[in-house]
Amino acid sequence: MRVNSNDPEKKEAVSRRAALLGGGFSLLLAGVGARLFQLQIADYEKYQRLAQENQFNTRIIAPLRGEIVDRFGRTLASNRQNFRLLLMPDEAGDIEEALGKIGRFVDISDDKHARLLREISRTRGFAPVEIVNNLDWDDFSRINYELPHLPGAHPEVSETRNYPLGNATAFVVGYVGAVTDRDLQSPENEKQQILLRQPGFKVGRDGLERTYERELRGVAGAMDVRVNAHGRVIEEIKDTIRPPAQGETLGLTIDADLQLAAMKALEGESASAVVIDIETGDVLVLASTPAFDPNIFTKGIPTDLWRELNSSPYKPLLNKPLGGIYPPGSTFKMITAISAMRAGVKPSFRVRCNGKFWYGNRFFHCWKRGGHGSVDMKNSLKHSCDTYFYTLATQLDVDLIADTARKFGLDQTFELGIPGQHSGVVPDRDWKRRYYAGSPENQTWFPGETLSVAIGQGSVSATPLQLAVMAARIASGKEVRPRIVRFRGDLESPTPQAQPIDLSDEQLDVVREGMYAVVNEPGGTATRSAFDNREWKLAGKTGTSQVYRITNEERARGLTKPEDLPWARRDHALFVCFAPFESPRYACSVVVEHGIGGARMAGPKAKEIMTAVMTKDPAKLKPLSPGALAQGDETTRRG
């Protein structure tokens, strides 16, 4: 059927449809135009910025770590040139094959191979991964020569941590190690994720390196770089460099020369030594043997070496001056003597020693089988007579002894900035109640326990640092507080002013005279430790602490010679001292684990260390100041 083109109704319908279609098309064109206007004109700057940001990126420049120096500016921790090899995963192709080719020129252990694969798997393909560091020049040159055959390999010269004195200062400065997932997840590192993810970046893992990580780390720099669509750097924009700021310098109280002398004196022993400047509290020596080389940790310590260090009976990973705890033995007798005088016992009080003391239902034995005869307080220290102090113990309350011990630095820790410090134990009634909280029947303090405490045995224990502090406080009569950090950056720590201990000079003079007699009078237990230079006078006290209790059966059949015992069953050897006697300036403690006797082993080593101290007399030398370091004053600073 044919439609009539002249039909008015049909014409009206067609016109209406055409109008709607045209209107819709016009609206569409208007929308597109508006959108083009927004993109090209209204939002021009926004999209131009986004385009620029897609083309340019910012590369982090890792800062140099701050140096650590001794009191005279000698370097204890610094940075040195590091030849290393990086791998760009996106250039390497087959990762396993690439690592295999690199492994022909550098050692990649199975453990390290697995670790590298884990790191590569969590790293963006264009981000480099450190394969090996601290290459020697020959290996570095060989890799550069073979570079065309090593896909993805990028040799590079960077900086790494260096410890010039090696194991001598390991327990003071600590060491640095690789960044872990725990470091990345730490809230304090939330804003430094990019820096911490830089290949080969290290953070403090122990010692002052760990405590002062924020100050030593420095501030990262930056540089704009041109990147491709995948985010890989294709050009560095040199004129946009914002240089990094090196970390702050840490200036210590340690004297590197004396530290080396102490390490030499203790060589071959499981031992420790501490030397303190009595007037300032400056720790001049903090030595522990055997020790580890912190430079090994910057490279990545081999698994077998790590196991060896952990399993050694000589505990080379233990910071013995701060974390080693030992019965103080007879070095504690000065505390007992002072406690007795506080309780009203006169220094002239005498006791006859026949080699043993009956108390309760058994004998307490003096170290000298035949006894010391009649001795007063001074001579009881000179001869280290156990019977005298057993007798004093029957007249003393253990709480008074504990209170005296705490006045002289025992049973406490000090703010040094080095982790792992132990407080030791000074037992009293409250301590025993806490210790046996779950066993009420064992909470009663028995008088016989006080006899053991009086000679530094039983539950009493101390660290070598505490024993050095004790000697310094006895010598000065003041609450000497040790410190190790003198300054950081431009901030110098003020010398602490020690307050007098609330004891009379007469009481302190008795134990000082006793310590003098130990070293300088005939019959003293440490006369072999007197200075060869007779113008110097050393006052000291020997100590021998048992590591196991001798039974009556063993005494009856005869004691085995100490040197014939297994090393782990020999007594510890201790010695505390100060010098010069007339005007005390330096205090020292030495502990030799299983060294058999204080007079035999610890005293002579203390003599050697204190001779080095008195010869140099560092108190007469001007220590480095932050200002001198900042100006590069080479007259006061030695590299």
DSSP string, 298-316: HH---HHHHHHHHH-TT-T
**Residue reference for tokens 């950056």:** 489
Question: Could you tell me the end-to-end alpha-carbon distance of the chain, in angstroms, rounded to an integer?
Answer: 112
Answer whether 143's CB lies under 8 Å from 132's CB: no
Q: Sorting pLDDT into bands at 50, 70 and 90, what band is 410?
A: very high
Residue ranges and CATH numbers for the domains of the chain are 58-88+110-247 (3.90.1310.10), 256-302+315-620 (3.40.710.10)
d(CA 128, CA 538): 60
* Position with higher pLDDT, 223 vs 419: 419
pLDDT in tens, 112-153: 788 888 877 766 656 778 888 878 888 888 888 878 888 888
- The DSSP string of 593-614 is TT-S-IIIIIHHHHHHHHHHHH
Residue 241 half-sphere exposure toward CB, CA atoms < 13 A: 8
Name the average pLDDT for the chain: 87
Angle at 349 between CA 348 and CA 352, to 5 degrees: 120
Phi-psi region at 469: left, alpha or beta (left = phi > 0; alpha = psi -120 to 50): alpha
pLDDT in tens, 318-362: 999 999 999 999 999 999 999 999 999 999 999 999 999 999 888
Q: What confidence score (pLDDT) does residue 636 get?
A: 39
Is residue 260 packed enough to be buried (19+ CB in 10 Å), middle (13-18) or exposed (0-12)?
Answer: middle
Answer whether 415's CB lies under 8 Å from 212's CB: no
pLDDT in tens, 361-370: 889 999 999 9
pLDDT at 316 over 90: yes
Closest Cα partner for 130 from 162, 106, 161? 106
Q: What confidence score (pLDDT) does residue 287 get?
A: 98
Is residue 241 packed enough to be buried (19+ CB in 10 Å), middle (13-18) or exposed (0-12)?
Answer: middle
Q: Which of 250-264, 373-387, 430-444 has the lowest mean pLDDT?
A: 430-444
* Position with higher pLDDT, 384 vs 94: 384
Alpha-carbon torsion angle 375, 536, 542, 327, nearest 10: 130
* Residue type at position 218: G
Q: What confidence score (pLDDT) does residue 50 get?
A: 47
d(CA 15, CA 13): 5
**DSSP label at 9?**
H
d(CA 331, CA 279): 22
Maximum alpha-carbon separation in the chain: 149
d(CA 117, CA 132): 14
Kindly report the pTM of this predicted structure. Answer: 0.83
Mean pLDDT of 415-442: 93
Q: Which of 37-51, 304-318, 326-340, 547-561 has the highest mean pLDDT?
A: 326-340
pLDDT at 264 over 50: yes
Q: Sorting pLDDT into bands at 50, 70 and 90, what band is 101?
A: confident
pLDDT at 517 over 80: yes
Q: Sorting pLDDT into bands at 50, 70 and 90, what band is 637?
A: very low
Q: What confidence score (pLDDT) does residue 348 get?
A: 96
Q: What confidence score (pLDDT) does residue 56 get?
A: 58
pLDDT at 19 over 80: no
